[in-house]
Structure 1
Amino acid sequence: MNTSRMAMPTPMPASQWDFDPAGWPDDDCVAAGADLRPPTLVAAYRHGAFPMPQGGRLLWWSPMRRAVLEPGALHISRSTRRSARHFHITVDTAFEQVIDACADPRRRGAWIDADIRAAYVELHRLGWAHSVETRDADGNLVGGVYGVEAGRLFCGESMFHRATDASKVALIGLVDVAGEDALIDVQWMTPHLASLGVAERPRSWYLSELPTLVDSPSLWWT
């Protein structure tokens, strides 16, 4: 596994926006507005919310049913293990390429706009956002995942593939680098994620786990 020189996360000042789950509705969408500055994003993730624009508005989400990959739950099929032999993993060597591939407007449900891109590239520069890349035998980028890391929590934002199983291999690489004690949040369930061992948990469960996770030393750096 090849890894670029990753910066330790830059300490964040307090956000001017209040992400208090006590005031959230019983709905996946919990707030609108605010901004995409680094302190805002870090505060949101630490409290269980993430941004996703819709209809020209900046909305914040905390799914009532959260899809998570719990420690030790990753399921790797025999076919995926065979596919993995044809790829290799790199970490934080192509963050902007990964987010651009995830933002491809030809993808169904594409939502990553220029503001989201700029915000996460800045988070990456500050050491909070990371990418795990899948490369073929020639070193070409064929899959990847990016997201935000806080302590023992990794919040996956989006993933892509240009070769069969390349996104699955990226998730395997993410589990390897994040550590066996990390919780990986993937937001909403899909059949693809379920096949890898991802499970749904109530929002209340997810929020109750956050304080211990985000205040723990990061396994990304050990």
Structure 2
Amino acid sequence: MQSFSKNRIVPPEVLLNGYRNGIFPMSESRDDESVRWYSARQRGIIPVEKFRVSSNVRRIIRQGRYNCQINTCFRRVMEECADRNTTWISDIIIHSFEMLHLAGHAHSVEIFDEDENLVGGSYGVSLGSAFFGESIFKKATEADKVALWHTHQILKKNGFTLWDTQFYTDHLSQFGCIEISSEEYRRRLNKALKKSADFRYR
């Protein structure tokens, strides 16, 4: 773990350099005025070719219950992800990632219901052919999982080779998440950074 001095914003180039070196930023609470850098001895990833969702989620997608958009309300997605009792997404991180979004490297996948309400979503960072998933939220049944399904479609279609989840959890394992060593992660990251991929939906 590396400390980062207090700032009102972490510049996009600093964020990208961190991801390029296998570390990621977190705060301790929503109003925390500092950002720290973290790594992990064991890293969670979802192999793009092994992603899966339940039959119920697939049914919801086939029924067209939700509409998916990308990058239309990036900040709102981040704020929804941060709206919980405990969060590592501080206001400084939201401001910083909004700048990274404007620079074309941070993306949101947004799920809307039939009344055009934002009911789910996820966001992350793209660099080369690597995608660093950051957080997800839901306000309707399975909307977070539908967001992950659409994220997978985007990554698969556009040739992304590394889907980083930072940590392995039992929750993420249902989507195919596995745990690899930091050495293996570094190897995969370096390879992914040598290839370009665009995060586009259509």
Fold agreement, TM-score > 0.5: yes
| 1:31 counterpart = 2:2 | yes
Paired with 2:174 and 2:86, the residues of 1 have a C-alpha distance of 21
Using the size of structure 2 for normalisation, the TM-score is 0.88
Q: Which has the larger helix fraction?
A: 2
| 1:164 counterpart = 2:155 | no
Q: CA deviation at 1:138?
A: 1.9
| 1:203 counterpart = 2:182 | yes
Using the size of structure 1 for normalisation, the TM-score is 0.80
Identity over aligned pairs, percent: 34
Unaligned runs of 5+ in 1: 1-29
Counterpart contact for 2:28–2:87, Cα < 8 Å: no
Choose which of 110, 118, 125 in structure 2 pairs with 1:141: 118
Superposed CA RMSD in Å reads 1.7
| 1:77 counterpart = 2:85 | no
Counterpart contact for 1:179–1:219, Cα < 8 Å: no
Unaligned runs of 5+ in 2: none
Q: Which position in structure 2 is the counterpart of 1:41? A: 15
After TM superposition, the structure 1 = structure 2 runs for residues 68-217 of structure 1, keeping only pairs within 5 Å, are: 68-84=45-61, 85=63, 86-104=65-83, 107-179=84-156, 181-182=159-160, 183-217=162-196
Paired with 1:94 and 1:58, the residues of 2 have a C-alpha distance of 24
Q: CA deviation at 1:109?
A: 2.5
Paired with 1:102 and 1:130, the residues of 2 have a C-alpha distance of 14
Runs of 4+ in 1 over 6 A off after TM superposition: none
Q: CA deviation at 1:83?
A: 2.3
Paired with 1:77 and 1:68, the residues of 2 have a C-alpha distance of 19
Counterpart contact for 1:154–1:185, Cα < 8 Å: yes
Q: Residue 67 and residue 117 in structure 1: after superposition, are their counterparts in 2 closer, same or farther (change >3 A)?
A: same
2:51 aligned partner, one-letter code: L
